[in-house]
Amino acid sequence: MINSTLKKRVVWFIHSEVERVLSNLKNGAVNKDNALGSLSTLFQVASSTKDADSMEYICTVIDHIRSSKHTIGLFYFTEMRQESY
């Protein structure tokens, strides 16, 4: 059983890491496959805490990345960043 304080911290961590992954993808520090791998790991963290909102958010970000034709760099999701909180 996970208490509410820990769950809030985990949710904060997930959202900050998603922002970091998107920033790294935008800057070209990682490629599409690395970003998808990082997001999959974050999805596993969210699923272990049974946080449906974070899982849905991560799935939406993954879908946007997969449907994009970009492979590296200059990859920016302004609309995704505004919806995150």
* Dist. CA 59–CA 47, nearest whole Å: 12
Contact predicate 59/36, CB 8 Å = no
Which structural domain, as residue segments, surrounds residue 47?
A: 4-80
pLDDT band at 3 (very low <50, low <70, confident <90, very high): confident
Q: Does residue 73 contact residue 28 with C-beta atoms inside 8 Å?
A: yes
Count up the domains in the chain and report the number.
Answer: 1
Does the predicted TM-score (pTM) go above 0.85? no
Residue 85 lies in a domain: no
User: Please, which residues bridge with residue 31 across strands?
Assistant: 72
Is 20 among the domain residues?
yes
Is 63 contained in some domain? yes
Q: What is the pLDDT of residues 9-49, one digit of tens each?
A: 999 999 999 999 999 988 888 888 899 999 999 999 999 99
**What is the rounded (10 degree) CA torsion for 27, 33, 36, 40?**
-140
Q: Residue written as tokens 């960043």? A: 81
pLDDT for the residue 72:
56
